[in-house]
């Protein structure tokens, strides 16, 4: 519940009715609808909202023009929201850090016939290190390293 407590503290730090407070209350509401709450579930909710904002900003019309132009105030609002939401997420390992750690560790990723076993070894490696990482990023790096 550490995430929920820190979220409540952040909410109380913003003025009543502010866009920031309303956004964080939206996250809290999504979180409270879950039967069990873990940090991973909370992070997935935050990522879902960020991805939704990014999808809206990337929407194009029939002519291929962005629906929200670069100077559109709504685009700026989505960008600010994503910046605020990103502060709620842990600092995950970057692609470069994952690659470097796997190279240094000496884990043989190429000997396995299937990507799944190699990905499993890599994820086990990062779980032992207790660094925050995103599984999809590890998967992408492992597949790239195996194909290079």
Does residue 1 have a pLDDT over 80? no
| pLDDT tens digits, one per residue of 93-137 | 999 999 999 989 888 888 878 888 889 999 999 998 888 888 899
Contact assessment for residue 7 and residue 88, using Cβ atoms and an 8 Å cutoff:
yes
Q: How far is CA 6 from CA 13, 24, 88, 103, in A?
A: 11, 11, 9, 36
- Of 22-26, 110-114, 133-137, 141-145, the range with the lowest mean pLDDT is 110-114
| pLDDT tens digits, one per residue of 48-69 | 999 999 999 998 878 888 888 8
């Amino acid at each position: 519940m550490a995430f929920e407590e820190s979220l409540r503290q952040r909410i109380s730090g913003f003025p009543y009715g502010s866009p920031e407070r309303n956004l964080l209350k939206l996250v809290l509401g999504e979180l409270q609808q879950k039967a069990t709450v873990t940090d991973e579930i909370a992070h997935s909710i935050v990522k879902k909202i960020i991805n939704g904002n990014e999808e809206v900003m990337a929407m194009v019309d029939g002519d291929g023009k962005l629906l929200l132009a670069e100077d559109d105030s709504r685009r700026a609002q989505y960008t600010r929201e994503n910046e605020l939401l990103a502060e709620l997420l842990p600092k995950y390992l970057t692609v470069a850090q994952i690659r470097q750690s796997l190279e240094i560790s000496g884990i043989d990723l190429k000997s396995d016939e299937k990507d799944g076993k190699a990905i499993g070894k890599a994820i086990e490696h990062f779980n032992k290190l207790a660094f925050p990482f995103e599984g999809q990023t590890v998967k992408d790096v492992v597949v790239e390293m195996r194909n290079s």
